Amino acid sequence: MDFLIIGGTQFLGKHIALAAVERGHRVTLFNRGNNKVEELSELEHLVGDRLEDMSALDGRRFDRVIDTCGYHKRAVRLSGEKLKDQCDHYTFISSISVYEEPPVEGVNEGGALSPLEDDSVEEITAETYGGLKVVCERTLDELIPGRVHHVRAGLLVGPDDYTDRFTYWPNRIAEGGRVLAPGNPNQPIQFIDVRDISAWVIKAAEDKVVGPFNATGPAEESLTTSACLTICREVTGTGAELVWLSEEFLLGEEVVPFRDLPLWVASDRVGIMRTDVSGAVALGLKTRPTAETVRDTLAWASGREGHEMKVGIDRAREKELLDAWQKKVGEENA
């Protein structure tokens, strides 16, 4: 089949392109040409801007379109109008953030969606991101009815993750020593290896899957923060000591969940880590063991010499918090 990928050079887009090639498809990438990826150099590249100039797609027809970078109504409306008569099926990468706050435990695809008062908004913030994705889904369904698959993706992790939202933990635990572990050790967490969701996206496109489907993991059911960090410790073999600091203490010290300590969400938002993915699993979504993701993420990250993590706390702040916690516990036990 002929696949068009809008985006396709960073993280998820790159791995979707690689998955399509692995399945034997012909792949064309449409983007601004800012990122050169050696593994994709043999593919057809069309340069343009989905907001200003899509003329490179004039006269072209594709069996499948996969949109990896639609974040607001104007962007998906322009691509939808352009391609609605030039493709048989359209996949839109959405997000589990579409669901209404606070996240409901076990939410499935029929859950209440996040409202957005002004659907013309284009500024992407923590407050607007989910609502913007809802508007994108609805816009595409109006333009291309009955032919759109909305992939409501969870937290994406693995090789090439430029956000560092998962990489922080394997890297930190590989350094050894006392490691600040956040909140409730038994709090569930969900994420999905980028290679697993990419393989499923291509298979679902081949099968012309339509409608929204939650897509996250991992392979281990009910994975907890403790289990994940323990896997990181086992893979790295450093013997790092996990020191668990309570949510109350961390919030009191103005530590921001998820940003300062990735994977950790405050207890009132834990529902986002319990999303129902049974629909996607029934359609063939498979996820690899977390240990494999940790190993491969570390191998990839080892090539980024001098890289500074985009998220997480630095070692000085970590030590400060650990010492303050130790003092607090000592005083309470005195």
CA distance 223 to 311: 22
The CB-based long-range contact list for 120-128 (8 Å cut-off, 24+ gap) reads 120/73, 120/74, 121/72, 122/71, 122/72, 122/73, 122/74, 124/71, 124/72
Provide the pLDDT confidence category of residue 222 given band limits of 50, 70 and 90: confident
Report whether CATH 3.40.50.1220 matches the domain 2-153.
no
CA dihedral 130, 136, 137, 140 (to 10 degrees): 180
Q: What is the CA radius of gyration of the chain?
A: 21
Six token digits for residue 32: 């601004």
Please state, as a whole number, how many other Cβ atoms lie within 10 Å of the Cβ of residue 140.
26
Residue 291, CB-side half-sphere exposure with 13 Å CA sphere: 8
CA distance 124 to 126: 7
Q: Residue 291 in contact with residue 235, Cβ under 8 Å? A: yes
């697993």: which residue's tokens? 196
Domain ranges of the chain: 2-153, 168-189+219-274+288-328
- Which pLDDT does position 36 carry in this prediction? 87
**What pTM was estimated for this model as a whole?**
0.96
Average pLDDT over every residue of 298-310: 91
Provide the pLDDT confidence category of residue 144 given band limits of 50, 70 and 90: very high
State yes or no: pLDDT of 334 exceeds 70: no
CA distance 149 to 191: 20
Q: Is 296 helix (H, G, I), strand (E, B) or coil?
A: helix
Q: pLDDT tens digits, residue range 176-202?
A: 999 999 999 999 999 999 999 999 999
Share of the chain above pLDDT 70, in %: 100
User: What residues contact residue 55 under an 8 Å CB cut-off, 6+ apart?
Assistant: 48
Q: pLDDT tens digits, residue range 68-83?
A: 999 999 999 999 999 9
State yes or no: pLDDT of 221 exceeds 80: no
Six token digits for residue 135: 């508007």
- Which pLDDT does position 287 carry in this prediction? 96
Candidates 154, 155, 172, 156; CA nearest to 298 is 172
CA distance 168 to 105: 26
Q: Residue 48 in contact with residue 60, Cβ under 8 Å? A: no
CA distance 31 to 55: 12
CA distance 303 to 257: 28
